[in-house]
Chains A and B, each alone.
Chain A
């Protein structure tokens, strides 16, 4: 046995077996709160066999919910990505008055309850809201319609990409970008050939988290959706509606999709974290 690997400093010696206690406790809690529910979702979904499971997934209302969820993600994720890159650029590359305030504002959706976020939109765009009469007069539907769902999701997913990129771009610094400019590159050439390759893993990480949230968001969307079956139900809302109607197979089948999304997200996230760590290590080596 290689003693030098296992030797620990005295301060880390563990006479009372606290190591086993803490590892055991963490494992127990993880399985109780994470693995067990996931298993329940799958067993419930398949409790009557594969047939009813696939029937409930191919039900028109379920398909409509899946489509709306995908549409919401397809619109919000690119917008959040563009906003996130722009915001990170502004914060990491320039100094301007109110910069700290901007960073705080970007974080706001993290600290506000999603229900409040939904409510804000109802108060602004709803029938009794500030813009309600004007919108009604021009026959524009936002609340209890798809635009409301997209707005609410945008609000909730707003900070994901920016939060990921701001520290990353600050760490990388702007010398490589300045080098590109000094070699005759235009701003867009610089962005696509230097900045983007340097931040790509962090960017993908942010996009991934943003996508998971956009597809899984419940609270904010629930307030503005109106739960119109086949029209304004996203997948998480569909799960709730079917569950309330004692359609357990339907509900858990929908939930299994969301759980699957979570697992895939987790795996990709782990990979991206590993890639990012490699890049940061290379960055530190390069600037030594």
Chain B
């Protein structure tokens, strides 16, 4: 009974932003709407919030149809990409806003509002900023205040539009984890929009991959990574080496140990499913072009000289020690072994 979207379609002029979207999000999940820019993910989020009207279809929140309801009746919390803090109000005023605009009968007393705002400020660990104005805050602080403001009205659904998009890489890392922990604590059904697959994998319990206004796949991060439903998802989530049977030397591929296809002619191979060994006769060989240190892993760039497509670079990843044990230098030949592949048409 979380969020149900039924046949949602939306056009802007001739451009189809969303094409017949069905989506069922169980209560309490933390969902990432993931897709390239222009795929319709923000539009979908705004339709759930009521900031945008769908051309067709229905929106259900907690079992109630809200398609025709204005934003204020939907009990949602919305966090905007650029925070949208009220610039003429202090941090306290911003968080208190949702409590103060309630009709008089439901409104808390000023003392209760004060307690609640300070509790929220403690929750986002920024209690000492209550009297600052938004322009005096850093990006990460603004984002957390925007979140506290959205939580003040005790929303049944929390919607976040590219919540970390405008932040520095290091702040982003911290806030991702923080958001995940906060969600564990509050257990509010939450949806966030992102174009960053790493962010989606790290934060979300469910990922919905969108492309050109329709859903390509929905599932847990490991589902989507290990069992991509199609070539788009496979390419979009994580790095993938693509081998087209019609373009790559089949003899080379056979030597590489690539399992035979059940369906399709295009093999997608994750970098960690490629093994390297000393080059010997009867193996698929490639030239070590370059390698990078990614921390625990080494990423290796290989040039498959025997492939028709000369510029095709193969990426492989392996633990540090494993790479060292190989003892190969740039320009030397290695044997390539493919352990596992996904096949697509």
Tell me whether A183 is interfacial, beta carbon within 8 Å.
yes
* Shortest beta-carbon distance from B145 to chain A in Å: 12
* Inter-chain contact A183/B101, CB cutoff 8 Å: yes
* Shortest beta-carbon distance from A243 to chain B in Å: 48
Binds B, one of A77-85, A192-200, A202-210: A192-200
Tell me whether A180 is interfacial, beta carbon within 8 Å.
yes
Interface string of A273-288 (1 = CB under 8 A from B): 0000000001101111
Q: When the two chains form the complex, which single residue of A182, A184, A287 contacts B82, counting CB atoms closer than 8 Å?
A: A287
Tell me whether B104 is interfacial, beta carbon within 8 Å.
no
Q: A178-B51, A189-B101 are in contact. Are A183 and B153 (CB under 8 A)?
A: yes
Chain B residues near A193: list those with CB within 8 A.
97, 101
Interface size on B, residues (CB 8 A): 29
* Inter-chain contact A182/B134, CB cutoff 8 Å: no
Q: When the two chains form the complex, which single residue of A178, A182, A183, A198 contacts B87, counting CB atoms closer than 8 Å?
A: A198
Tell me whether A181 is interfacial, beta carbon within 8 Å.
yes
Tell me whether B86 is interfacial, beta carbon within 8 Å.
yes
* Inter-chain contact B84/A184, CB cutoff 8 Å: no
Interface string of A254-288 (1 = CB under 8 A from B): 00000000000000000000000000001101111
* Inter-chain contact A184/B98, CB cutoff 8 Å: yes
* Shortest beta-carbon distance from B292 to chain A in Å: 32
* Inter-chain contact A182/B71, CB cutoff 8 Å: yes
Tell me whether A13 is interfacial, beta carbon within 8 Å.
no
Chain B residues near A286: list those with CB within 8 A.
82-83, 85, 87, 134-135
* Inter-chain contact B101/A198, CB cutoff 8 Å: no
A181 to B80, CA, bound (A): 12
Which of B77, B83, B97, B134 has the largest count of A CB atoms less than 10 A from its CB? B97
* Inter-chain contact B102/A178, CB cutoff 8 Å: no
A218 to B151, CA, bound (A): 57
* Inter-chain contact B71/A181, CB cutoff 8 Å: yes
* Inter-chain contact B76/A182, CB cutoff 8 Å: yes
* Inter-chain contact B51/A183, CB cutoff 8 Å: no
Tell me whether A90 is interfacial, beta carbon within 8 Å.
no
Kindly identify, within residues 163 to 218 of chain A, every residue whose CB is under 8 Å from any CB belonging to chain B. Answer: 175-176, 178-186, 189, 193-194, 197-198
Q: Chain A: which residue is nearest B82 at the CB level?
A: A287
Tell me whether B342 is interfacial, beta carbon within 8 Å.
no
Q: Is the interface of A mostly helix, strand, loop or mixed?
A: helix
Tell me whether B149 is interfacial, beta carbon within 8 Å.
yes
Kindly identify, within residues 69 to 97 of chain B, every residue whose CB is under 8 Å from any CB belonging to chain A. Answer: 70-72, 76-78, 80, 82-88, 97
* Shortest beta-carbon distance from B146 to chain A in Å: 8
Q: A181-B71, A186-B72, A286-B134 are in contact. Are A198 and B88 (CB under 8 A)?
A: yes
Interface string of B143-156 (1 = CB under 8 A from A): 00010011011000
Q: When the two chains form the complex, which single residue of B102, B139, B150 contacts A182, counting CB atoms closer than 8 Å?
A: B150
Tell me whether B17 is interfacial, beta carbon within 8 Å.
no
* Inter-chain contact A184/B135, CB cutoff 8 Å: no
Chain B residues near A183: list those with CB within 8 A.
97-98, 101, 149-150, 152-153
Interface string of B28-55 (1 = CB under 8 A from A): 0000000000000000000001010000
Kindly identify, within residues 21 to 61 of chain A, every residue whose CB is under 8 Å from any CB belonging to chain B. Answer: none
Q: A179-B80, A189-B101 are in contact. Are A282 and B87 (CB under 8 A)?
A: yes
* Inter-chain contact A197/B84, CB cutoff 8 Å: no
Q: A181-B72, A182-B78, A286-B134 are in contact. Are A176 and B86 (CB under 8 A)?
A: yes
* Shortest beta-carbon distance from A192 to chain B in Å: 11
| Range, interface on chain A | 20 to 34
Chain A residues near B51: list those with CB within 8 A.
178, 181-182
Q: When the two chains form the complex, which single residue of B78, B83, B101, B146 contacts A178, counting CB atoms closer than 8 Å?
A: B78
A181 to B139, CA, bound (A): 23
* Inter-chain contact B84/A178, CB cutoff 8 Å: yes
Chain A residues near B86: list those with CB within 8 A.
176, 179-180, 194
Chain A residues near B101: list those with CB within 8 A.
180, 183-186, 189, 193
Which of B49, B88, B166 has the largest count of A CB atoms less than 10 A from its CB? B88
Chain B residues near A184: list those with CB within 8 A.
72, 98, 101-102, 153
* Inter-chain contact B135/A285, CB cutoff 8 Å: yes
* Shortest beta-carbon distance from A20 to chain B in Å: 40
Chain B residues near A197: list those with CB within 8 A.
88
Q: Chain A: which residue is nearest B102 at the CB level?
A: A184
Interface string of B120-157 (1 = CB under 8 A from A): 00000000000000110001000000100110110000
A194 to B86, CA, bound (A): 7
A184 to B70, CA, bound (A): 10
* Shortest beta-carbon distance from A181 to chain B in Å: 4
Q: Chain B: which residue is nearest A181 at the CB level?
A: B71
Chain A residues near B135: list those with CB within 8 A.
282, 285-286
Chain A residues near B149: list those with CB within 8 A.
179, 183
* Inter-chain contact B97/A175, CB cutoff 8 Å: no
Q: A182-B51, A184-B72 are in contact. Are A283 and B87 (CB under 8 A)?
A: yes
A176 to B93, CA, bound (A): 14
A181 to B88, CA, bound (A): 17
Interface string of B87-117 (1 = CB under 8 A from A): 1100000000110011000000000000000
Chain A residues near B70: list those with CB within 8 A.
181
Which of B51, B139, B166 has the largest count of A CB atoms less than 10 A from its CB? B51
* Shortest beta-carbon distance from A125 to chain B in Å: 43
Extra pairs beyond A197-B88, A286-B134 (11, CB < 8 Å): A175-B82, A179-B84, A179-B85, A182-B76, A182-B78, A182-B150, A183-B101, A185-B98, A186-B72, A198-B88, A285-B135
7 pairs of residues in contact across A and B, judged by CB atoms under 8 Å: A180-B101, A183-B97, A183-B149, A184-B101, A185-B72, A286-B83, A287-B82
Shortest 3 CB-CB contacts between residues of A and residues of B: A183-B98, A175-B84, A182-B78
